[in-house]
Amino acid sequence: MLLTNHAPSPTAQLIDGKAFAAGLVAEIAVDVAAMVAAHGIRPGLAVVLVGDDPASAIYVRSKIRKTEAAGMASFAHRLPASASRQDVLAVIDALNRDPAVHGILVQLPLPPQIDATTVLDAIDPSKDVDGFHIVNAGKLANGRTDGMVPCTPLGCLMLLKAELGSLAGLHAVIIGCSNIVGKPMARLLLREKCTVVLTHQKTQDVAAEARRADIVVVAAGRPGLVRRDWIKPGATVIDVGINRIQTADGPKIVGDVAFDEVSAVAGRITPVPGGIGPMTIACLLRNTVEAAREHIGRMPRSAA
Ligand SMILES: Nc1nc2c(c(=O)[nH]1)N[C@@H](CN(C=O)c1ccc(C(=O)N[C@@H](CCC(=O)O)C(=O)O)cc1)CN2
């Protein structure tokens, strides 16, 4: 069940990412069981966590739990916040060589003394289930479909296609141009033949850009940034933001979209929590199964 009438909003239908992700994970578990039965190979995901960022620790625990629940193998590597770049590179080198590991993920952000680009580019691109390696980013930028695609934008795209069908010809505005979400999202929507506007901190009038959009994807890291008057009536709004704020009722997680007012004008909207977050982890499992499938494809016929 993907669409739910959402009581507080007179118009917008809620896009239930949590339910969609649960369905995806159930399908992945079936694929995993089939792979084990046919080839004796269990997809394996290695997660590398450096330091003690509390949110990262929660996400890593959730990734490990869901990986194992889908019948896959998980390998956790935890390094102290004082770890050096060489320490992290040594772990990645070992994981690159380990045949039981089909996917490697380095949880971001890394501590300030470690350059993320160097670390991400040390991962074997065929095991880069986050899709952040420059080879995979380059493939996506060139419209190639044979690379790994970053999990959050992939999750957004899956929901958009499930909701809207063909996206061809639609006007899409992306707010925030990070390497993790904004840029790969723009490339994926371009591949779907959307007209894409990618906004950033120096964009002169982001609200005016957003008002033209059939699809608005927001990944700015600013709670409540997108207001009712930014949205064309009936537009689809995808909120990627995850912000922890304090309210009179205690701590709360909110997105980058002022949900109550925007859902009164949008046609469809993702909630936070329960929207894109769960899709990120489901797509990580999906990418790991795909990496294992590719690995089987490269094995000599007698072994596969
Ligand atoms: N190596 C990576 N690092 C980071 C990524 C990533 O894709 N790869 N993305 C984010 C964090 N992230 C996954 O790592 C992530 C964030 C949020 C959720 C999620 O399910 N959120 C829930 C709410 C969770 C809560 O209560 O705290 C939701 O939205 O419903 C999943 C994954 C940065 N780092």
- Active site residues per annotation: 63, 107, 130
Give me the residue spans of the domains in the chain: 39-125, 150-278
Q: Is the CB of 59 under 6 A from ligand 1?
A: yes
Q: Encoding tokens for residue 168?
A: 């061809």
Determine the distance separating the centroid of ligand 1 and the alpha carbon of 277, expressed in angstroms: 5
- State the CB neighbour count (10 A cutoff) for residue 30: 11
**pLDDT per residue as tens digits for the range 141-177:** 999 999 999 999 999 999 999 999 999 999 999 999 9
Q: Is the CB of 274 under 6 A from ligand 1?
A: yes
Ligand 1 pocket mutation pick from 117, 242, 284, 286 by most atoms within 8 angstroms of CB: 242
What's residue 10's pLDDT?
63
ipTM confidence score:
0.96
Rounded distance, CA 112 to CA 93, Å? Answer: 21
CATH class of domain segment(s) 39-125:
alpha beta
List the beta strands (DSSP E) in 43-187.
44-50, 73-79, 103-106, 171-175
39-125 and 150-278: identical CATH topology: yes
Q: How confident is the model at residue 304 (pLDDT cuts 50, 70, 90)?
A: low
**pLDDT per residue as tens digits for the range 95-125:** 999 999 999 999 999 999 999 999 999 999 9
Determine the distance separating the centroid of ligand 1 and the alpha carbon of 298, expressed in angstroms: 31
Determine the distance separating the centroid of ligand 1 and the alpha carbon of 302, expressed in angstroms: 40
Rounded distance, CA 43 to CA 21, Å? Answer: 19
CATH class of domain segment(s) 150-278:
alpha beta
Residues 6+ apart with CB under 8 A from 86: none
Q: Is the CB of 108 under 6 A from ligand 1?
A: yes
Q: Encoding tokens for residue 160?
A: 């958009």
Least confident of 9-13, 22-26, 297-301: 9-13
Residues forming a β-bridge with 175: 199, 218
pTM: 0.95
List the beta strands (DSSP E) in the chain.
3-5, 13-15, 44-50, 73-79, 103-106, 171-175, 195-199, 215-218, 236-239, 243-247, 250-254, 268-269
Q: Is the CB of 270 under 6 A from ligand 1?
A: no
Three-state secondary structure call for residue 127: helix
Select from 36, 52, 35 the least CA-distant residue to 110.
52
